[in-house]
Amino acid sequence: MKLKDTGLTAKELKDMVKKYMVETYPRYDFIAERAEGMYLYDEKGEAYLDFYGGVAVNSPGNRNPKVVAAVKDQMDDIMHTFNYPYTVPQALLSKKICDTIGMDKIFYQNSGTEANECMIKMARKYGIDNYGPDRYEIITAKEGFHGRTFGSMSATGQPDSAIHKGFGPMVPGFVYAEYNNLEDFVSKVTKNTIAIMIEPVQGEGGVHPATQEFMEGLRKLCDDNDMLLLLDEVQTGWGRTGAPMAYMGYGVKPDAVSMAKAMGGGMPIGACCARKEVAAALGAGTHGSTYGGHPVACAAALASVSEILDNHLSENAKEVGAYFVEKLAKLPHVVEARGRGLLVGCEYDIPIAMDVKWNTFKRHALITAIGDNINRMIPPLTATKEDVDQVVEIMKAAIEEAVKKAQAA
């Protein structure tokens, strides 16, 4: 829909949102009306260089033509049905994903949070079914992020954040350990621990990649104690880190993995994949989803995953991401640039990240901030080195403006 077709002004539309919507997001002050490739366009047709990627969703490019075509084609056949008939997109996507990432089974959801809820339920049920009623505890990482529904937010190791505060007791059975600290995870294991659940790169936690030693150590720890390794790849999955799934780049295979975001290429879909022995914990009545495995979303996901694989976007993410980190490290006040593939962050020696975000927006580029000191960039995986050069120049000017403001305060 276009603003001009509504009869409203931009201000009237924004006022309508403020009046009727529950607002939990700090809005960019523009109307995103169209998208193409590496750009969003506002109601005036002005372009914004997109290094936010719909929060790591639009990996094959904004409004990827093959994803759009798949959606349109499927809409002409069937939009929605319940999960009792077979549907073609579900079947084809299941085979594509499981064969690509080496998993046995898949359960479809509608988002990353739901995919993590499925994985948590699967692990707890597996533990209780196989080892008894007390074997349901899961160790997760401090500063990790797994979603905002009660199971996933309880798994999120940020007890002092707005994610937890004010909601009463969390779901029992979660213990937090320090990320990239194998000894701390070892120390938290008890006879009731059934799983360890982490992100291969902490995205919301500040863009911290797991070390190779940490990933290998967790796998061995789980193997030695009859525990499951659960990986939340909602943000890292499907090419983002330089491999189809981040764990494939580490050479460490989990027992279950969640995914969403890039999977759908712009359509809402998520999934949990697992070894068949683990997946067997969920049977009739134990889990379900009205919209999970939606035919249109599955058609979009099949196109998105195929585009990422066929166009070698994992490899592009690895190469361009390394170049991006190198360029960011040279910016003023950056004490560390880090990431894996095109999940990239830079940390400053002064608290300017929010101002840099807004100053970058003023210059028609989109990035995000994590706290006061870190900016995170998660662009489409089609990003080129020329795109990186452009956003780095914009960020440099944005940093300089933010520093002047800080010095004047």
Q: Are 281 and 125 in contact (CB under 8 A)?
A: yes
Q: How far apart are CA 295 and CA 204, in angstroms?
A: 30
The encoded tokens of residue 353 equal 């990240």
Please report which confidence band the pLDDT of residue 359 belongs to, taking 50, 70 and 90 as the band edges. Answer: very high
Domain 65-310, CATH number (from 3.40.605.10, 3.30.479.30, 3.30.465.10, 3.40.640.10): 3.40.640.10
Q: What percent of the chain has pLDDT over 90?
A: 99
Q: What is the tens place of the pLDDT at every residue in 362-408?
A: 999 999 999 999 999 999 999 999 999 999 999 999 999 999 999 99
Please report which confidence band the pLDDT of residue 7 belongs to, taking 50, 70 and 90 as the band edges. Answer: very high
Which parts of 132-198 fold into alpha helices (H)? 150-155, 182-188
What's the mean pLDDT in 227-253?
Answer: 98
pLDDT the model gives residue 239: 98
What's the mean pLDDT in 220-229?
Answer: 98
pLDDT the model gives residue 409: 80
Q: Would you give the distance in Å from CA 78 to the centre of its chain?
A: 28
For the chain, what are the domain ranges?
Answer: 3-60+312-408, 65-310
- Give, as one character, the DSSP assignment of residue 276: H
Identify which of 144, 209, 179, 156 has the alpha carbon closest to the alpha carbon of residue 342.
209
Q: What is the tens place of the pLDDT at every residue in 169-182?
A: 999 999 999 999 99
Residue 336 has pLDDT above 90, yes or no: yes
In the CATH hierarchy, which top-level class contains the domain 3-60+312-408?
Answer: alpha beta
What's the mean pLDDT in 1-28?
Answer: 96
Q: What share of the chain is helix, strand, coil (3-state, %, to 5)?
A: 40, 20, 40
Q: Are 144 and 200 in contact (CB under 8 A)?
A: no
What's the mean pLDDT in 237-245?
Answer: 98
Q: How far apart are CA 311 and CA 44, in angstroms?
A: 32
Q: What is the tens place of the pLDDT at every residue in 302-320?
A: 999 999 999 999 999 999 9
